[in-house]
Structure 1
Amino acid sequence: MNLIAVGTNAPDFNVKDNKNQNIRLSTYKGKKVLLSWHPLAWTPVCTDQMRSLETNLQNFQNLNTVPLGFSVDSQPCKEAWATAIQINNVSLPSDFWPHGKIAQDYGIFNETEGVSERANIIIDENSKVKWVKVYPSGQLPDINEVLQVLSSS
């Protein structure tokens, strides 16, 4: 695994989210983007991680940031899961096919497990990688740390 370096141009992507909408990184130029990666839907820590994005959506909007809750789960899975855990506003894109391609592009694909690492990646308004943090898979990322990084950039 070769983690993407801060300062690198963020690889573009075009995938479907939980609402079956096309999500393309390049459409967010002029905004910051948080790629919040979780290994798999339907697990407790991943649920809490995605709910923290939904709960803090207004904070993200105030910081000119679009939060995206990524995993390698399929689009129908992300759709059912978002409904089940009441994610109504935050987009949950699917990196299902080619399997884990975006996670691979960002250097956070776990080849052994076939899932992404748990990670937060902040991309700035000019599509440059601004901040990267990988977490132990069982650890809930500190949303306040992410908001602090966003507010200081």
Structure 2
Amino acid sequence: MSERKPIEVGSFVPDFTLKNQHGNEVSLASLKGRNVILSFHPLAWTPVCRDQMKELDLNFDLFVSMNTVPLGFSVDSLPCKTAWAEAIGLESLQILSDFWPHGAVAQSLGLFRDSHGISERANVIVNGEGVVVFVKVYPIRQLPDIEEIVAFVREYTGTEVSGDVEVQHCMKTETGTTCIDDGRNRGINATGK
């Protein structure tokens, strides 16, 4: 667990500006009026972190339909984020580099592990006014439950989503991990056998 107490529901999130995998700056202020999922993962190039980001990417349009923007965060450098996003085939999700000052955003939210130099695995949902409405820190090796996040956002926003919309998942297989999108196997296999 973090050496600090995680930010609490009802707290205001200070603005930040970080670069995404394309080198473009993203600030919380630029997303004002929309809910934002701040999804922290410890490090790129690890299986659980990959699945966490892929599930957000697979469900990106669903979140956007609920006036919510998911963002991924880790302390990895920008070149690392760029290479990793390409390797795992992210299409819509922006993953932000909280590299320097090292883990500053994670630290400001009480989600930085000083002893390891990484962030916790956590989801923080911020409303359109910058106030935290959901916080959950997960065991470092646990994949966050994407259905829990979708259900919370759906309830919080009061958005009715068509009954034929399904939450997309990544699944462990004998040969690695496969992510399914709209019923089509899009196959990523970054874990090997």
Query: What's 2:120 paired with?
Result: 117
Structure richer in helix, relative to its length: 1
Higher relative contact order (CA 8 A, sep 6+): 1
Structure richer in strand, relative to its length: 2
Moved over 2 A (4+): none
Which has the higher Rg, Structure 1 or Structure 2? 2
Residue of structure 1 aligned with 2:146, choices 143, 146, 150: 143
1:20 aligns with 2:23: yes
Find the aligned partners of 2:139 and 2:5 in 1 and give their Cα distance.
17
Q: 1:44 Cα shift? A: 0.2
Residue type of the partner of 1:73? D
Secondary structure of 2:95's aligned partner: coil
**Taking structure 1 as the reference length, what is the TM-score of the superposition?**
0.99
Residue type of the partner of 1:5? E
Find the aligned partners of 2:10 and 2:138 in 1 and give their Cα distance.
20
Residue type of the partner of 1:82? A
**Gap runs ≥5 in structure 1:** none
Q: 1:92 Cα shift? A: 0.3
Find the aligned partners of 2:119 and 2:33 in 1 and give their Cα distance.
27
Give the aligned CA root-mean-square deviation in angstroms: 0.6
Query: What's 1:80 paired with?
Result: 83
Q: How does 1:3-152 map to 2 (within 5 A)?
A: 3-152=6-155
Secondary structure of 1:15's aligned partner: strand
Q: 1:2 Cα shift? A: 2.0
Find the aligned partners of 1:87 and 1:137 in 2 and give their Cα distance.
22
Deviations 1:37-76 (A, max 9, x none): 0000000000000000110011101110110010000011
Secondary structure of 1:93's aligned partner: strand
Residue type of the partner of 2:114? E
Q: 1:11 Cα shift? A: 1.4
Residue type of the partner of 1:6? V
**Gap runs ≥5 in structure 2:** 157-193
Residue type of the partner of 1:149? F
Find the aligned partners of 2:140 and 2:8 in 1 and give their Cα distance.
21
Q: 1:100 Cα shift? A: 0.5
Residue type of the partner of 2:19? K
**Taking structure 2 as the reference length, what is the TM-score of the superposition?**
0.78
